[in-house]
Amino acid sequence: MRLLPELVLTGAGWEAGRAVAVTDGRIAAVQPAGPPQPGDVALPGRALLPGTVNAHCHTFQSLLRGLGDDLDFMAWRDRVLYPLSERLDRGGIALGASFAFAEMLLRGATTCVDFFYLNDDGNDNAEAVIEAARAVGIRLVLARAMYDWEGAPKRYRETPTDARRRVRELIAAHRHDAACTVQPAPHSPHGASEAMIRAGWEVAESEATPFHIHVAEGRYEGERTLREHGATPIRYLDRLGVLGPRMIGVHCVWLDPEEIALMGARDAALAYCPSSNMFLGDGITRLPELLRAGVRVALGTDGGCTNNRLSVFEEMRMASLLQRVRLLDGTALPATTAFALGTASGAQVLDLEAGMVAPGRLADLVAIDLAEPSLHPSHDLLASVVYAMSERAVTDVWVHGRRVVEDGRLTTLSMEDLLARVRELTAGWRATA
Ligand SMILES: [Zn+2]
């Protein structure tokens, strides 16, 4: 198959008159279009970009959207997240995942990390999420949570021994999947014990994968880690020996300058979720400083009820705007950087060969409609994509070479049916008093 867009974004910038050849889920070549060939997919008036990478999400939370929007974090957690996540059986978990994946694909996200913690002492729920991703057609990184804080609902919790064994089993079960990888995810310094964090790191080491961990999202977390462990979160993780190139710290809002330098020195990575940080009133991660320190950065939406959108293009825009207002500097984070964080850099952080239109890369691609008003006038198309583009511009999406969105509609399932099921499941849900 060859895709023939009007423009394609390659390492050389926007190119016209090129064909993108796709074989076995990968980009085989980016070549002069030449004469038509059987299997060509003409994309007149469209530009082809790498699909975006959502490096942090909790898919089931899409079902909780709108239920605690104006609550503070603790009230949201205790009155919405904890009680309502208890109502989700395996079918509900799969429905939430399908709903979130479908929305992400329509917004141009071709990879999603689902940091998944409704594990019910096993892997069957995670398998339901993996099956949903396969059916909807998104590339999935199942960040299999490892959680043992006693204050959390029982279904989140396991012993480190059980969690270690189950994560290994899940990794083994999906080692040869084309579009799903499993990575360990000890929840956070407050949600996972020392033994659990070490167990997550050990699995990552032995399986040669990254691991995910929430770090310093709210100000209270640093104070709590300091009180309980005698060190702030990044120092504490360093003391445990897990701060290194395998670590993807999620959020990292409340770090001091020494912790930022330490993350860079250890070659750790960040999954940055600017909209969620704003929505929850967490604070502002010092992104330019982290980038200058050498920290590798991906972008995430976080869950659908703490954003409340599921678009990585949106996160590119928010990442840039938020740093401008923080630093009172319109040059704080340029469009090319913001775009790279949501594509190539995100893929690198997750250890995926995606995020670029180049031979050998995974064929995860997005086409946008150049006639969309938000892309006019066209002077610097990449800047327009980051700062101006409406979600309506995304017309077509391919994941692993499979066209999963065509002319703005999912090819893999009926959105009408999906929304009807979401309405039925969530009818009458509200925050507890
Ligand atoms: Zn999270």
> How many A from CA of 41 to the centre of ligand 1?
38
> How many A from CA of 85 to the centre of ligand 1?
14
Q: What does the alpha-carbon distance between residue 345 and residue 135 come to, in Å, rounded to a whole number?
A: 27
> How many A from CA of 16 to the centre of ligand 1?
40
Give residue 76's pLDDT: 87
Residue type, 40: D
Tokens of 401: 């070479």
> How many A from CA of 42 to the centre of ligand 1?
39
> How many A from CA of 407 to the centre of ligand 1?
32
> How many A from CA of 371 to the centre of ligand 1?
36
> How many A from CA of 115 to the centre of ligand 1?
7
Tokens of 27: 């980009």
> How many A from CA of 146 to the centre of ligand 1?
13
Give residue 74's pLDDT: 86
Give residue 189's pLDDT: 96
> How many A from CA of 46 to the centre of ligand 1?
34
pTM score of the predicted model: 0.98
Give residue 15's pLDDT: 98
Give residue 92's pLDDT: 97
> How many A from CA of 86 to the centre of ligand 1?
18
Give residue 176's pLDDT: 96
Identify any residues that bridge with 145 across adjacent strands, giving them in sequence order.
185
Instruction: Please report which residue ranges of 154-310 form alpha helices under DSSP H.
Output: 160-173, 194-207, 219-229, 233-239, 257-265, 274-279, 287-292
Q: Which of 198, 97, 95, 80 is nearest to 146 (CA)?
A: 198
> How many A from CA of 57 to the centre of ligand 1?
6
> How many A from CA of 215 to the centre of ligand 1?
10
Q: Is the dihedral of CA 360, 203, 266, 306 positive or negative?
A: positive
> How many A from CA of 143 to the centre of ligand 1?
11
> How many A from CA of 58 to the centre of ligand 1?
6
> How many A from CA of 214 to the centre of ligand 1?
6
> How many A from CA of 297 to the centre of ligand 1?
16
Q: Which of 94, 203, 95 is nearest to 146 (CA)?
A: 203
> How many A from CA of 421 to the centre of ligand 1?
25
> How many A from CA of 206 to the centre of ligand 1?
24
Tens digits of pLDDT across the chain (433 residues): 999 999 999 999 999 999 999 999 999 999 999 999 999 999 999 999 999 999 999 999 999 999 989 988 888 889 998 899 888 999 999 999 999 999 999 999 999 999 999 999 999 999 999 999 999 999 999 999 999 999 888 999 999 999 999 999 999 999 999 999 999 999 999 999 999 999 999 999 999 999 999 999 998 888 999 999 999 999 999 999 999 999 999 999 999 999 999 999 999 999 999 999 999 999 999 999 999 999 999 999 999 999 999 999 999 999 999 999 999 999 999 999 999 999 999 999 999 999 999 999 999 999 999 999 999 999 999 999 999 999 999 999 999 999 999 999 999 999 999 999 999 999 999 998 8
Residue 120 near residue 153, CB atoms below 8 Å: no
Give residue 152's pLDDT: 87
> How many A from CA of 213 to the centre of ligand 1?
9
φ, ψ dihedrals at 245, nearest 5°: -65, -15
> How many A from CA of 273 to the centre of ligand 1?
9
Give residue 225's pLDDT: 94
